[in-house]
Structures are given as C-alpha cells and as structure tokens.
Amino acid sequence: MNAQPKIAKRPSVCPHDCPSACALEVEVIEDARIGRVRGAKTQSYTDGVICAKVARYAERIHHPDRLTRPLRRVGAKGEGRWAPIGWDEALDEIAARFLDAERAHGAETVWPYYYAGTMGLVMRDGINRLRHAKRYSGMYATICTTMAWTGFIAGTGRLAGPDPREMAKADCVVIWGTNAVNTQVNVMHHAMRARRERGAKIVVVDIYQNSTMAQADLALLLKPGTDGALACAVMHVLFRDGLADRDYLAAYADDPAGLEAHLATRTPEWAAAITGLSVADIEAFAHLVGARKRSYFRLGYGFTRQRNGAANMHAALCIPTVTGAWAHEGGGGFHNNGAIYHWDKTLIEGLDVRDTAVRVLDQSQIGRVLTGDAEALRHGPPVTALLIQNTNPVNVAPEQALVKRGFAREDLFTVVHEQFMTDTAAMADIVLPATMFLEHDDVYQGGGHQFVMWGGKLVEAPGECRSNHEVICALAHRLGAVHPGFEMTPAEIVDRTLQASGHGTLEALKAEDWLDVQPDFRASHYLDGFAWPDGRFRFRPEWPTAPNANIGPTADAAAMPGFPDHWAVTEEADAARPFRLATSPARNFLNSSFAETPTSVAKEGPPALLIHPEDAAALGLADGAPVEIGNDRGAVRLTARPFEGLRRGVVIAEGLHPNGAHEGGAGINTLVGADAVAPYGGAAFHDVAVWARAV
Ligand SMILES: Nc1nc2c(c(=O)[nH]1)N[C@H]1C(S)=C(S)[C@@H](COP(=O)(O)OP(=O)(O)OC[C@H]3O[C@@H](n4cnc5c(=O)[nH]c(N)nc54)[C@H](O)[C@@H]3O)O[C@H]1N2
Ligand SMILES: Nc1nc2c(c(=O)[nH]1)N[C@H]1C(S)=C(S)[C@@H](COP(=O)(O)OP(=O)(O)OC[C@H]3O[C@@H](n4cnc5c(=O)[nH]c(N)nc54)[C@H](O)[C@@H]3O)O[C@H]1N2
Ligand code: SF4
Ligand SMILES: [Mo]
C-alpha cells in the first residue's frame, strides 16, 4: 500500500528583491522538498496573493543546475572549465589571495560587492560587517533606489507614507511608473478591491501599453522622461479650476504661492507638446484627482530610471499635496516604507567598527571601477579582489562592455557566491554554492508594506551549499577580522537586532510570524507635519543638501529645477540614434533571477524588442525578424515584435535575459550608460538613445 506523502504547510517570506515581500505558505513534503507556494491569507497586505513565478518555486529550489560544490576555475577566465574543490581549500585560497592583495595595494583593493538577491537582513547586509572589520572598499548602492528615494524624501523629508492597505479605501488609485502587474502584483490586488468595492478609478502613467495599463480607466501613455511636465500641468489645472486645497496648503506646504506663480506658464498645452498626451487627457486626470480627495498616488521606480528621475518623482509627489489628499484616508503619496523600521544594524553590518575614511565606490560604475577609471576609483588603488554575493553585475549593471572587460582582467581575483552559474559566476576564479531562503534563517521587511517577518529554515540545502552568513564568518576567521557578529547564529543576530530596533524578541516574532509596524494614521499621513524642521512639504526642495547623500552631489545637481518642472536632461534621440529605449522588467523574470527556470524561459521566449508597427515597417522588420539596436556603447541583438501600444520612436526590451540569450552574447545593459544621475547617483536604465536596423 502506498503511504500518502506527508505535506506540511509552513510560513515563510519571499526573499526576492520586490516591494511586495510576500508572506508565504509553503508546502513542505516529507520535510525534504517543497510543493506549491501560496500567499499567506493571514497577512493582510499579501492577502493570499503572490506572483506565478514564486508559486512555482519548486522549479527553482530543486533545479538540477543548482550549484552544490565549490568550484575553482581551471581554464581561461570565462571559459567554463571548473574543478570541484573542498570548502576548506576554497576558503583558505580566498583568504590567502585577499591577504596578498591587501599587502600589495592596501585593504581598499578588496571590494565586497552585493545587492538584494535575498532581502533577508542578515544574508544581504552581513557582508558589510566583513567590509568594515577589514576596511575593504565600501559600495554605494545606486543600482535601484537612489533617484526614487531621493525624489520622494525631497518632498516629505521621510521615506514613508499612508498605509499601503489604504489603497483599497481610495476613490482613485494612480499607478505611476510602476508596472505593478509584473513587478508587485499586490498593488493591483488592493487597487482592484477599491474599484470593486468603491467604484474607484485606476489611472496608469507609463510609456507603453503594459499589463498594468491594460487595467486602467485612464491610461496616460507619455513620452519617456516627461513625467515632470505632466505633473506641472495637472497642478496648473488644479490651481486654475479651484481644485487646490488652499487651507491645507497654507498649513502644510512651504511655498504654495510661489508654486502657483511658477506653474502659470505650465499649461496643459505646454505639457501636451512635451509629453505627447492630449490636453483633454491631462485635464481629465487633473479633474479626477481634484474631485476625489481619496486619491492614492502609488509611485514606482520605473519613471525614476531617467536622468531627470529624482526631479520627476518629486514633481509627481507634489500633486497630492496640492489637492490635500494626504489628509484623507485612502489619500496621499506612497513609494516605499523604508523609514518606518528604524533598524539598528550595528550588529549585522559591524557599524561599530566602521572607518568612514575608507573609500566608497559606486555600484553602478563597476565597469569603470574594474577598468581603472581614476574618478570611479576615487583616485585610490585598483580593485584587484572581488567578493560577490546576491547579485549578477555582468548581466544587470550598466556599461556591460566595460564590466566584461573588467571581469576578464587576469590580475583580478574574483569570488562569486551563487545559487546558479550566472553570467557573473561564469567569470569567477572561485565559485561558492549558496543556500536559498527556505534553507536558512533570516528576517525580512516589506518595502511596499509595513510588516517585519520571520523566514525560518524549512528544508536542507542540496549538496554542500552554505549560507552567506556562514561564508562571511568563515572568511572573517581566516582573515583575522574580529566582531561579535562573526560568532553568532543568524537567529541570535536577528533576536539582538529586533530588540535593539524596538521590535521585541525573535521568540515573539516567531509566535506571530509577522509584525505590523505601520505608524498611526496621523503620523502616516503627516497630519502633525512633514518630516522637515518647519513641518512643511517642500515644493522647492534643497536638492544638494537632501538626505541620502553618500558620495555627494553630481556635477549637474546644482542645475536641478527649483520648483517641479520639465528638466530636459534625458538621453535624447537624434539623427544618429532615433529611438528611445527602455529596458523594463519582464513578468516571469525578477531582475536576472528565474531566467534559469524552464517555465519562465518558455513564457518569455527569446529577447524581444517591442517597436511600433510603422517604425518596424520603415525598417523592414517583420514580426519575429532579427533586429540589432546600438549606440556608442555597443550593439545588441533581439527579435522584433511590432506592437501597437507604443509611441513611434520608443522601443522596449523587457528583461532581463541572460547575456547568452542574445545572439552574440551582448546583453541589453551593453547599451545603458553608467553616468551618475542627479543629484546623488543611480543608473538610468530606461533612458537610452539607440539606432535600430534589420540584420
Ligand atoms: N536593463 C536593466 N537592468 C537592470 C534593471 C532594469 O530594469 N533594466 N533593474 C536594475 C535593478 S532595479 C536592480 S535591483 C538590479 C538587480 O540585479 P541583481 O542584483 O543581479 O538581481 P537579482 O536577480 O535579484 O539577484 C542576483 C543574484 O542573487 C542570487 N542570490 C539570491 N539569493 C542568494 C543568497 O542567499 N546568497 C547568494 N550568495 N546569492 C543569492 C541569485 O541567484 C541571483 O543570481 O538590476 C538592475 N539592472
Ligand atoms: N517580474 C518582475 N518583478 C520585479 C522585477 C523584475 O525584474 N521582474 N524587479 C524588482 C525590482 S529590483 C524592482 S526595483 C521593482 C521595480 O518595479 P517598478 O517600480 O515597476 O519599476 P520598473 O519595472 O523599472 O518600471 C516600471 C514601469 O515604468 C516604465 N517607465 C520607464 N520610463 C518611464 C518614464 O519616463 N515615465 C513613466 N511614467 N514610466 C516609465 C517602464 O516602462 C515600466 O513599465 O520590481 C521588482 N519586481
Ligand atoms: S510578488 Fe514579489 S514578493 Fe511576492 S512572491 Fe512574487 S516576487 Fe515574491
Ligand atoms: Mo531594484
């Protein structure tokens, strides 16, 4: 008789780099394998909903191609020939090479490089403890959030806003520059609830007819990098038509009269010429949010990945201030809840042993750093050793041709700790196999919600995989780095960190699985004032002195607009490069992850270029034809897909596909620049001018 397999349903948290940070219910089969993954119904933001790619996580965690043993390169760099080695041998060799490099060039020659492959606080940020204890070069994390966060904080003074669950209580949800259906499905869940239960209108502002725009009542398909112009014209109409809340403005804003005067010339006609929208649509948008005080502005990352992105985020955020939406339940502006967690990361990151004189290198400029650009190296020693966890820069970083040239350097010793043989791992000298989230303990926070969540180990890892924490501690012991955090388990670190941050104990968190830390209504809606000394929202930001500075303002920061405006600094199309390219996230991949799972690969197909049918016809491109796009950074091959839901002159390459999925091996980031976006850096992934031709 066949016994039924034992299936337990266990709580966990999605660790991926996604604002939704979903609370999960995982089927664990015979304590060894996982089955279906579902959204937890008892966590009120997730509310039982998760994306399809994580629902089928068994495909990723039990993938036959997972790395399970340490590997040493035996062929030339990137050739793909490896010999398995033992962990002790691997760690001894890494330590010896790091110490050699340090003796030759000083400790700053070693660069620990990481990002958010897992968002667990211990496994993501623990690498900084080693960095600080050893005085290795620091990393200024600019690849994702810098423009968006800087732009938001420039207005409110704080990265936080009305409870994201209030979206369901809005009369209008404005989904601006985020393709939420693809990138954070829970936003749609709460917005649709508002539509169903309250008749809320959904407005989507984007540059192509993506899956989110398909759900919109009012679809605003504008030209890339023109959101500041749209915001100005909307506010012009609000003042002009008596829809500005003047009492609110007098109490809560810095200079409403100055703003109104500034906007006098920012008419809908002016904005229509810049954005490509119709005057009627701009007026309709203004009247909608002017009439519905409960308008929730859910502002995403996508529209900030432009060279004027920080300014445009601030401009969009000014609208709910002009209408006074902040004062109403279901109203206001929201981007991310980073500020509400007040983590004390001393133990995780070793902040008590940090030397602030040590140089900090720009994550997005890794190509320039590794190819010896003196400015990018901050005029310090070359980087001759890399320790990489949680990120895949050979695929995801801009200026890919430079990145590849850097990784190919014979005098660079590269260690990559990974789950799969990624484009980056393929360039390593030593590859170490990493655990996945269900194989180790960690704590998580929501960016798009307000829960602190515990994700405990549920199954054993395959082969010899070790967690990031284990690797960092083992290296610390061999490198002579001293810190209490190297002697503790992840659970001990989490417990101490929770307590130091005012979030109770780990025991208490485990008993509940998740902890709701949303500030109260008055604080969330800034009813006692915005987070500036005078308590007023800033229509006129002090850009160069806003918080979030790490390296200091960029060269053009001083030229940023005083009041919200259209700041024309994007990479404009010209005769030589007539198209504007955006590299928007695909639904079935998550950055560079999931591009190894068969279902995601099958659903996405080969790398495609969405192009307006008339542009395609002018270039002689039929559906499915090979196409090459390029600029002075390089050229990339894709498959043409004529698509009506685009403006002429705009092309979209959804990704990220592995570099090798493109014929010739040049990934899409070959075309993206790494020049630092004003005022404090960041990468303009959706702001690229290219030529296109049939091949
Ligand atoms: N063209 C273009 N490029 C982009 C973007 C874009 O929109 N367009 N988006 C950018 C953005 S927003 C971001 S955030 C970056 C992100 O780019 P990446 O940082 O590369 O993103 P991920 O794919 O999330 O994670 C990277 C790797 O972490 C590994 N990993 C996961 N968990 C663990 C773990 O516990 N330990 C270890 N050692 N490894 C682990 C995964 O296997 C994966 O290979 O890409 C940027 N690049
Ligand atoms: N499936 C999937 N989910 C993901 C990711 C993924 O790669 N795939 N990445 C994760 C990560 S790391 C992050 S940071 C988030 C990012 O998630 P989002 O906040 O959604 O940001 P993006 O996906 O970069 O871009 C969102 C939309 O902005 C559009 N856009 C580009 N330029 C402009 C512009 O000038 N104006 C306007 N209005 N819109 C513009 C893009 O075309 C895209 O449709 O998603 C996370 N979730
Ligand atoms: S929506 Fe985002 S957080 Fe939720 S399961 Fe999918 S990737 Fe993870
Ligand atoms: Mo990101």
In the reported structure, the alpha carbon of residue 89 is separated from the centroid of ligand 3 by a whole-number distance in angstroms of 37
Task: List Cα–Cα distances, 276 to 224, 269, 281, 554, 571, in angstroms.
Answer: 10, 10, 11, 30, 17
Q: Is 386 in the pocket of ligand 3 (CB under 6 A)?
A: no
Q: Which of 540, 569, 564 is nearest to 311 (CA)?
A: 564
Residues with CB under 6 A from ligand 2: 17-18, 144, 177-179, 182-184, 205-208, 210, 224-225, 227, 300-303, 305-306, 582, 584-587, 589-591, 686
DSSP state of 656: P
Phi/psi of residue 297, nearest 5 degrees? -90, 105
What are the residues whose beta carbons fall under 8 Å from the beta carbon of 494, sequence distance 6 or more? 121, 122, 441, 442, 443, 454, 506
- Ligand 3 midpoint to CA 184 (Å): 7
pLDDT digits (tens, 9 = 90+) for 411-444: 999 999 999 999 999 999 999 999 999 999 999 9
Q: Where are the alpha helices (DSSP H) in 25-159?
A: 52-55, 58-61, 87-105, 121-125, 127-134, 146-156
**Cβ proximity of 683 and 669 under 8 Å:** no
Q: How many CB atoms lie within 10 A of CB 100?
A: 14
Residue nearest to atom 14 of ligand 1 (CA): 144
Helices (H), 415-467: none
pLDDT at 13 over 50: yes
Confidence (pLDDT) at 556: 87
Q: Which atom of ligand 1 is nearest to the CA of 305?
A: 7
Contact 671, 601 (CB under 8 A): no
40 lines ligand 3 (CB under 6 A): no
What pLDDT was estimated at residue 259?
A: 98
Distance 432 CA to ligand 3 centre (A): 26
pLDDT (0 to 100) of residue 579: 98
Residue 664 has pLDDT above 60, yes or no: yes
Joined together, the tokens standing for residue 51 give: 């994306």
621: preceding bond cis by omega (within 30 degrees) = no
Q: From the CA of 620, how far away is ligand 4's center (Å)?
A: 35
Could you tell me the pLDDT band of residue 547, with boundaries at 50, 70 and 90?
very low
pLDDT higher than 80, residue 552: no
Model confidence pLDDT, tens digit, residues 583-627? 999 999 999 999 999 999 999 999 999 999 999 999 999 999 999
Enumerate domains of the chain plus CATH numbers. Answer: 7-61 (3.30.200.210), 71-137+343-516 (3.40.50.740), 147-335 (3.40.228.10), 579-694 (2.40.40.20)
**Which two three-digit tokens encode residue 122?**
């211990």
Ligand number, closest to the Cα atom of 40: 3
Between the CA of 17 and the centroid of ligand 2 the distance, in Å, is 12
Nearest-Å Rg of the Cα atoms of the chain is 25
Q: What is the mean pLDDT of residues 307-314?
A: 98
**pLDDT at residue 554 tops 90:** no
State the Cα–Cα distance between residues 435 and 429, nearest whole angstrom: 20
Asked if pLDDT for residue 53 goes beyond 70, the answer is yes
Among the bound ligands, the one closest to the CA of 593: 1
Hey, what are 524's tokens?
Answer: 């969330």
| pLDDT single digits (tens) 103-136 | 999 999 999 999 999 999 999 999 999 999 999 9
Q: Which amino acid is at 652?
A: I
Q: Considering the entire predicted model, what is its pTM?
A: 0.98
- Using the predicted structure, report yes or no on whether residue 549 has a pLDDT greater than 70: no
Confidence of residue 174 (pLDDT cuts 50, 70, 90): very high
What's the rounded Cα separation, in Å, for the pair 495 and 689? Answer: 49
What is the whole-number distance in angstroms between the Cα of residue 63 and the centre of ligand 1? 18
Rounded Cα distance between 311 and 154, Å, is 9
Ligand 3 close to Cβ of residue 14 (< 6 A): yes
Average pLDDT, the chain: 97
**Angle at 319 (CA atoms; ends 318, 321), nearest 5 degrees:** 65
For residue range 320-365, list pLDDT tens digits in order.
Answer: 999 999 999 999 999 999 999 999 999 999 999 999 999 999 999 9
Q: Is 20 in the pocket of ligand 3 (CB under 6 A)?
A: yes
* HSE, side-chain direction, 13 A CA sphere, residue 597: 21
